[in-house]
Amino acid sequence: MSLAAWERALDAFAARLADQRAALHAGQPDAVGPFAPPPSMGPLPAELRARAEDLLQEAAEVQAHLEASLAGPEVQVVRRLVSATTAPTVARYVDRPL
């Protein structure tokens, strides 16, 4: 795929992230659907790598906010309770002949 096509795809992804942020701020976190990249994108041109990485970082931030807003207060309380009361899993070995 050409450089221009990749630029258009990244522009579309950035626009979708902006739409999702606006929907989150408006209290409508589920108003924006998932982004679907064009098929057969091919390898990312090296000159667009930094921009793509920035967009992926932004997408991770938006996803974290989206998950937090979709999980109601009850779910958040349960997650905190489970993490506070669950002992970390550690390996235990018994050193004796069987």
CA distance 1 to 14: 19
> Cβ of 27: how many Cβ atoms within 10 Å?
8
Query: Region 8-12: what's the mean pLDDT?
Result: 94
| pTM of the entire predicted model | 0.68
pLDDT 10s digits, 18-54: 999 999 888 888 888 888 888 888 899 999 999 999 9
End-to-end CA distance of the chain: 63
In the chain, which ranges are continuous DSSP H helix? 3-25, 49-70, 73-85
pLDDT 10s digits, 76-95: 676 677 777 766 666 666 66
Looking at residue 20, its pLDDT comes to 93
